[in-house]
Amino acid sequence: MSYAFDCIQLKRRTFLRGTVALLGYLVGQTNNANAQADLLPSWNDGPIKQSIVNFVSDVTTPGLPTFVPAAERLATFDNDGTLWAEQPIYFQFAFTMDRLKALVSQHPDWKVTQPFKGAIDGDLNALMQSGEKGVLEILAATHAGVTTDAFADVVLDWLATARHPRFDWLYTDLVYQPMRELLAYLRGKDFKTYIVSGGGVEFMRPWVSKVYGVPPEQVVGSSGTVKFELGPDGVPVLMKEAKVEFINDGPGKPVGINRFIGRRPILAFGNSDGDQQMLEWTAAGQGARFMGLIRHTDAEREWAYDRVSRVGKLDKALDKANAEGWTVVDMKRDWRTIFVRERPSSRQTIK
Amino acid sequence: MSYAFDCIQLKRRTFLRGTVALLGYLVGQTNNANAQADLLPSWNDGPIKQSIVNFVSDVTTPGLPTFVPAAERLATFDNDGTLWAEQPIYFQFAFTMDRLKALVSQHPDWKVTQPFKGAIDGDLNALMQSGEKGVLEILAATHAGVTTDAFADVVLDWLATARHPRFDWLYTDLVYQPMRELLAYLRGKDFKTYIVSGGGVEFMRPWVSKVYGVPPEQVVGSSGTVKFELGPDGVPVLMKEAKVEFINDGPGKPVGINRFIGRRPILAFGNSDGDQQMLEWTAAGQGARFMGLIRHTDAEREWAYDRVSRVGKLDKALDKANAEGWTVVDMKRDWRTIFVRERPSSRQTIK
């Protein structure tokens, strides 16, 4: 079940929903949850899909005690493993490895200095094996020394050409179709959809509008510092520096939500332990709430991993979800379709 | 004039505007700039008001080369001295002084420790005379040690009761009516209106929605750090800490815009040197732009100050505006009405 009500509230809600449905019928309006469910065709019918539709109905039906005004309908989504895949390594790390190789001729010291040397010599795992400090150092170095505008172009060029090692698809082809439908469904109900990711905000903003329908100003993420400077032509630029500013992960997610959004979501979706505090923060608000966790259970169509995974570990948050009655999506059981390869395939169309 | 075009572009724009107007007439639509101007009744007719209306027409009329899609119509406004008054001290400093006095019984050390002692003993000027470091220390201390939710209540309670020393009005009665009209006018043209202020983001967010029609997630400001914690009842809270995180002023404004919004505004309004870089950053984008500066020229109805003012100094930015042809609003000349005392007067209505 998606969110908890005691019996009295449940009865009252059911009664009111019946009354509102009857009134709607009498004045010629429909309030049919099954009709709305057609907006989620990639979700299999069942209690999970129904819990989403019920929640949306509860918070958008005027007159119900669970009604939430449109301005307060904020929904936050983790990105890696929640909106697109994250195996065998976070896609931003694949980008980082490619960027490291592209930049090494300008940074000959990287060939002899750790953690860069190991990452350059090694396979895709090397970046992750250098530990958090090493990863952050490589991320900062490979994402710095360019203007914010130039970096956006680098990201778009990479997304238009780089291929996922298992599927040989563009990385944006590994976006989950059910989640794209869910984002659109919520926006159709006047929700404001946000991405709240441990990934870099400047890595996501250039393409999320086209791929997810989420405007760049609704992306909360990790960031490096930027500096306002006058360029050689006297035109001001923002230069990316090799310094980590904020890590939007774990307890950082509610902090990031507070910093960027300033109010609490009523719906949040994640897939790993790094999302637990975002879901707890969402759950702790007053009124109807929806907390969703995605379990990667489909080794054939996607991947199957949880408690011991190096990437996207889902352990404590799963226990919490089970204890609190949060909605746990089983990818294999609940998603009819996972990927639809009709993503934009060129840099122009992504932008 | 608001923004620069060379002669060829001007002629082309005028020709196209004429063509579009003719087409609009033929299909029964109106595109009459004078009709639109009625949405700004507190602005006197003249070149300043006309430059605003012309800009909005240019970026919202399909077919013009200056047209900007709705999703990219971002407008950023400084707060202190731009949307509401800022004399004799920034209103958040008045709040800070009141908070200092309210909290001193819990912090007896403040009575004997600088910069607190001076601020407590002195008049309203003491806070500003303690220098930037002292001001930040007092701001951090008086804004910390509470949850974000509790702090919002403290701010709302203060705004519902505190009185401005000169007018004996609530501080929200010192909002500029012409700017409220401008915000609403822009939103009516599908602009997304943002506040980009040196003031504290947690000080502004609780009330800007009611007072300016700007939702809390569209406020960019200075901030202290917050920490995710479990409260005594196990419910998670965000606790405000006495540590400055970000100063959203001067060169920090384009940095803050990049961090929170992630794309560049096409219209920006400020009133002081602290807004210069925001206006430069806005001006440096491609396409039609509007950069506005407000000059405080009306000692009778508001205040008159500019190049040597301690609060809201306008010196270098004024030179820049004159050199670049930015729009400079003369409050005495251009504003028919400055204040309208129909602001909500209780905590409930402000919230």
Residues of chain A positioned with their CB less than 8 A from the CB of B236 = 254, 277, 280-281, 284
Contact status of A26 with chain B (Cβ, < 8 Å): no
Please state, in angstroms and rounded to a whole number, the distance separating the CA atoms of residues A3 and B63: 49
Reported confidence tier of residue B125, pLDDT bands at 50, 70, 90: low
pLDDT at B344 over 80: no
pLDDT value at residue A47: 97
DSSP assignment letter at A149:
H
pLDDT of res. A125:
67
> Partners of B247 in the beta sheet?
none
Å from A124 to nearest chain B CA? 30
Of B71, B192, B216, the CB nearest to A262: B216
Average pLDDT over chain A, rounded to an integer: 88
- The whole-angstrom separation of Cα B137 and Cα B132 is 8
Compute the Cα dihedral for A262, A264, A265, A270 and give only its sign: positive
Residue A243 scores a pLDDT above 60:
yes
pLDDT of residue B134: 83
pLDDT value at residue A23: 43
Q: How far is CA B181 from CA B4, B176, B192, B326, in A?
A: 25, 9, 14, 20
Are B207 and B156 in contact, with CB atoms under 8 Å apart? yes
A219 shares contact with chain B (CB less than 8 Å):
yes
Residue of A nearest to B209 (CA): A71
Question: Residue B254's closest CA among B238, B274, B236, B230?
Answer: B274
Of A182-186, B104-108, B112-116, the one with minimum mean pLDDT is B112-116
Please indicate if any CB of chain B lies within 8 Å of the CB of A75.
no
Q: Which residue carries 């009133």 as its tokens?
A: B271
> E strand or H helix at A331, and its extent?
helix A331-334
Cα Rg of chain A (Å, integer): 22
**pLDDT per residue as tens digits for the range B40-95:** 999 999 999 999 999 999 999 999 999 999 999 999 999 999 999 999 999 999 99
Is residue A1's pLDDT more than 60? no
Confidence of residue A346 (pLDDT cuts 50, 70, 90): very low
Contacts of A135 (CB under 8 A, 6+ apart): A93, A115, A127, A128
Confirm or reject contact between A205 and chain B (CB < 8 A): yes
The reported pLDDT for the residue numbered B27 is 40
- Distance, CA of B4 to CA of B18 (rounded, Å): 20
Rounded Cα distance between B24 and B14, Å, is: 15
Name the band, by pLDDT with cuts 50, 70 and 90, for residue B119.
Answer: confident
Give the other-Cβ count within 10 Å of B102's Cβ.
12
Write the pLDDT tens digit of every residue in B127-164.
Answer: 666 677 888 889 989 999 999 999 999 999 999 999 99
For residue B100, the number of C-alpha atoms closer than 13 Å in the C-beta half-sphere is 29
Q: Write out pLDDT tens, residues B252-305.
A: 999 999 999 999 999 999 999 999 999 999 999 999 999 999 999 999 999 999
**Dihedral sign computed on CA atoms, order A22, A23, A26, A32:** negative
Q: What is the pLDDT of residues A262-302, one digit of tens each?
A: 999 999 999 999 999 999 999 999 999 999 999 999 999 99
Q: How far apart are CA B267 and CA B283, in angstroms?
A: 9
The radius of gyration computed from the CA coordinates of chain B, to the nearest angstrom, equals 22
User: How far is Cα B97 from Cα B85, in angstroms, rounded to an integer?
Assistant: 18
The counts of H helices and E strands in chain B are 15, 8
Residue A126's pLDDT band (cuts 50, 70, 90): low
Note whether B219 contacts A262, CB cutoff 8 Å: yes
Q: Give backbone dihedrals phi and psi of A272, rounded to 5 degrees, phi first.
A: -145, 175
Specify the DSSP element, H or E, that contains A75: strand A74-77
Q: So what's the pLDDT on residue B350?
A: 53
Check CB contact under 8 Å for B258 and A238. yes
The string of pLDDT tens digits covering residues A220-233 is: 999 999 999 998 88
Confidence of residue B335 (pLDDT cuts 50, 70, 90): very high
In A262-321, the residues whose Cβ lies within 8 Å of chain B are 262-263, 277, 280-281, 284
* Contact flag A217-B260 (C-beta cutoff 8 Å): yes
Query: What is residue B81's predicted lDDT score, i.e. its pLDDT?
Result: 98
| Nearest-by-Cβ selection for A226 from B228, B255, B277 | B255
What is the Cα–Cα distance from B287 to B59, expressed in whole angstroms? 9
Q: What is the mean pLDDT of residues A298-313?
A: 96
Secondary structure of residue A43 in the 3-state scheme: strand
User: How far is Cα B163 from Cα B171, in angstroms, rounded to an integer?
Assistant: 6
- B221 and chain A in contact, CB less than 8 A: no
CA-closest candidate to residue B196, choices B228, B220, B161, B227: B220
What are the Cα distances from residue A170, in Å, to A98, A159, A303, A343, B237?
A: 14, 7, 17, 9, 40
Report the alpha-carbon distance of residue B173 to residue B340 in Å, rounded. Answer: 7
Residues 6+ apart with CB under 8 A from B183: B77, B83, B193, B212, B213, B214
pLDDT for the residue A220 = 98
Token couple for A267: 């719906």
- In order of A118, A213, B25, the CA distances from B60 in angstroms are 53, 22, 17
| A236/B284 CB distance under 8 A | yes
pLDDT at residue B18, as a whole number: 46
Query: In whole angstroms, what is the distance from residue B74 CA to residue B278 CA?
Result: 13
- The answer to whether the beta carbons of residues B195 and A262 sit under 8 Å apart is no
Q: Do B284 and A235 lie within an 8 Å CB cutoff?
A: yes
Contacts of B230 (CB under 8 A, 6+ apart): B236, B237
